[in-house]
Amino acid sequence: MRRKMNPVIFSAAFLVITLVSCKPRKAIELKEAIVQKERIAFNILLDKNGPGEQKLASLVKNDYKGALASVDQEEKAFDKLIGEIAALPADGVKQGNELKTAAADYYTALKELQIFDRQEITQRELSSRVEGEALQAAQDSILELSRRKQEMFKKVYEKEGAFHQALEKFSSVNGI
């Protein structure tokens, strides 16, 4: 015996399939593209072959020139990442531009924190070549740079929080 499909069940199934397929494709693509940037930033900072790790390895060897070159690489990598975010299409996507702005602000703050190392590296190099009062002054300068860097960390945390709030609002507004 063949059973006939109940029209109510058929209609409900059709409605569910229609609603699921109506997810905003552009919004999903934008979110995925921005979330993927987190992986790129992670690789810049922590990948064993990335500029962040190269910087640390250079500093361990007191290779200040190599460490500064790695900071330059980090800056270029972050500039590329921020440029890619700016280039993402957000027209017609609710909260799309706000999400892009929050992401770019976060990665800009993270970049600024990383390139601040230039000043610290330069001071460390200077302190390695001086003695006496000049050494004490160089070490005091390093301490002051560390305090300033602490403030930069706070800024990064604030921007990260704003970025994740924007991501949540974006997802909510777009139903994803």
CB-CB contact of 37 with 107 (8 Å): yes
DSSP class per residue in 107-170: HHHHHHHHHTHHHHHHHHHHHTS--HHHHHHHHHHHHHHHHHHHHHHHHHHHHHHHHHHHHHHH
Residue 18 lies in a domain: no
User: What is the domain count for the chain?
Assistant: 1
**Domain hosting residue 68, numbered range:** 25-174
Residue 2 lies in a domain: no
**Higher local confidence (pLDDT), 142 or 14:** 142
Average confidence (pLDDT) over 66-75: 98
Q: Within 13 Å, how many C-alpha atoms sit on residue 4's CB side?
A: 3
Tell me: the pLDDT tens digits for 106-138? 999 999 999 999 999 999 999 888 889 988 898
Residue 112 lies in a domain: yes
Residue 4 lies in a domain: no
Tell me: the pLDDT tens digits for 75-92? 999 999 999 999 999 999
Residue 87 lies in a domain: yes
Mean pLDDT lowest among 3-12, 36-45, 58-67: 3-12
Nearest Cα residue to 110 out of 84, 147, 149, 146: 149
Helix (H) or strand (E) holding 51: helix 51-60
